[in-house]
Amino acid sequence: MSAVTPAGLSVAGISKSFGPVGVLHDVHLEVAPGSLTAVLGRSGCGKTTLLRIVAGFVAPDAGTVALDGRPVVDLPPERRRVGYVSQEGSLFPHLTVAGNVGFGLPRRQRRARHRVDELLELVGLDAGFADRYPHQLSGGQQQRVALARALAPGPRLVLLDEPFAALDAELRESTRRAVAAALDHAGTTAVLVTHDQGEALSMAGQVAVLSEGRVVQAAPPEELYRRPADADVAAFVGDAVLLPATVRAGRAESVLGALPVAGHPDAGPTTVLVRPEQIVLEPVVDGGAPGEVVARVVDATFYGHDATVRLHVRPGSGEHPPPGPLVARTPGHAAPAVGTDVRLTVQGSVTPTGPRPGDP
């Protein structure tokens, strides 16, 4: 697999409409050779269309797609050397696993089995699967075969269109790991389209958030989670507590007290992002000391490994009391009882997400 040098992908100014419906608007995206980028967006945001334009199945209305700097927009899909894995795997039902994997290989290599076995091994499947038909495989196995098939002709880029969405939770995790390992081993550049934040954040080196046909932010997962471009992105990539605050001397004054702020924000009113797991709950001793932020637990949802707790901050503590309850996440074993009072502290820094939007 190492014979192929992975290509860098650069998408510039792509726009596409289907009839009167604009799907993509001036989309830009850079993917480094050999890296995995996730395109994250809600259903209907245009992410599949973007992928199909890169693959060559759809022609864009405007813009360019380039592999290693060479434009490919005018090439038909079969001449782009771009692999494609669809949501259901789309294995050819009339061919065995070997027939599927070897589909894109020259006739001679199709005959020689070792290449097929090699690819099956790469995706973590036993060579014994080679003679099975797609309907005899589980969903996860089908996706692995689909990836092996896409990798077989040595593509310079592999596109994965929600490849795990059709799998149940348990299978999804193991298939994800197998696919990530195979992509890593093959060293191919890959673009993964998904609506699953966890999937994007855990698998990709870069996550591009696509919203209403525009790339609103493209960044490494940690940066995206910690420092989202705006409140929408913040809320999309994870649970978010958005608090009105005023920045003074590098600290954000909010209902949770004066919190350290990431970066160098301008002074003045703003909204800060706090992730629920940053809020630590502790039992209150003697009704709480002055300066402490105390809240009452109004609701708790237990998930096992953790719990989501909704809190009403006691009036009088901090600035800008929010209109509704706050949400915090605690380990499941430490979930407080409803009706009790807890002391709140915030771990780490908070992120300003721009001036106060309409609703925090």
Partner 1 sequence: MPASLTGRRRAGTLPLGLAAAVAVAVLTLVPLGFVVVASASAEPAAALALLFRARVGELLVNTVGLVLATTTACAVVGTTAAWVVVRTTVPGRPVWIGLLAAPLAVPAFVNSYAWVSMTSAVEGFAGAVLVTTLSYFPFVALPVAATLRGLDPVHEETARALGLGPVAAVRRAVLPALRPAVLGGSLLVGLHLLAEFGALQMLRFPTFTTAIYDAYESTFAGPAATLLAAVLVLLCLVLLAGELRLAGRLRLARVGAGAARPRPPRPAGRATPLALLGLATLVVLALGVPLAALGRWLAEGSSTAFPVAELGLATLTSLGLAAAGAAVTTVLALPIAWVAVRHPGRIGRLVERSSWVGSSLPGIVVALALVTVTVRALPVIYQTTALLLVGYAILFLPRAMVAIRAALAQVPPELDDVARSLGVRPAGVMARVTLPLVARGVGAGSALVFLAVVTELTATLLLAPIGTDTLATEFWGRADAVAYGAAAPYAALMVLISAPAAWLLTRRGVPGGPA
42 binds partner 1 per the rule CB under 8 A: no
Distance separating alpha carbons of residues 186 and 44, to the nearest angstrom:
31
CB-CB neighbours of 181 under 10 Å: 13
78 binds partner 1 per the rule CB under 8 A: yes
Q: Which is nearer to partner 1, 146 or 255 (CB)?
A: 146
164 binds partner 1 per the rule CB under 8 A: no
Smallest gap from residue 34 Cβ to partner 1 (A): 20
Give the angle 309-314-316 at the CA atoms, nearest 5°: 145
86 binds partner 1 per the rule CB under 8 A: yes
Smallest gap from residue 200 Cβ to partner 1 (A): 22
DSSP 261: B
3-class secondary structure, 226 = helix
- For the chain, the C-alpha Rg in angstroms (whole number) is 24
Of positions 9, 35, 38, 84, contacts partner 1 by CB under 8 A: 84
Q: Can you give the length of the chain in residues? A: 360
Site of tokens 């909010």? 254
257 binds partner 1 per the rule CB under 8 A: no
Give the angle 230-197-227 at the CA atoms, nearest 5°: 30
82 binds partner 1 per the rule CB under 8 A: yes
Tokens encoding 290: 């002055």
User: Is 167 in contact with 132 (CB distance < 8 Å)?
Assistant: no
Tokens encoding 72: 């490919």
Q: For residue 136, give the amino acid letter.
A: Q
Of positions 13, 26, 42, 59, contacts partner 1 by CB under 8 A: 59
18, 9, 104: which is closest to 51 by C-alpha?
A: 9
77 binds partner 1 per the rule CB under 8 A: yes
Smallest gap from residue 32 Cβ to partner 1 (A): 22
Q: Which is nearer to partner 1, 115 or 343 (CB)?
A: 115
Smallest gap from residue 89 Cβ to partner 1 (A): 9
129 binds partner 1 per the rule CB under 8 A: no
Stretch that binds partner 1, among 1-9, 70-78, 213-221, 345-353 (CB under 8 A): 70-78
User: Is 64 in contact with 13 (CB distance < 8 Å)?
Assistant: yes
108 binds partner 1 per the rule CB under 8 A: no
Of positions 42, 79, 111, 248, contacts partner 1 by CB under 8 A: 79
Tell me phi and psi for residue 161, to 5 degrees.
-100, 100
Smallest gap from residue 5 Cβ to partner 1 (A): 17
43 burial level (CB within 10 Å; 0-12, 13-18, 19+): exposed
Distance separating alpha carbons of residues 160 and 89, to the nearest angstrom:
10
Q: Which is nearer to partner 1, 57 or 303 (CB)?
A: 57
* Subset of 135-154 contacting partner 1 (CB under 8 A): 146, 149-150, 152-153
Q: Which is nearer to partner 1, 49 or 217 (CB)?
A: 49
Sites of contact with partner 1 (CB under 8 A) = 18-19, 21, 48-49, 52, 55-59, 76-84, 86, 88, 90, 92-94, 103-104, 146, 149-150, 152-153, 155, 159
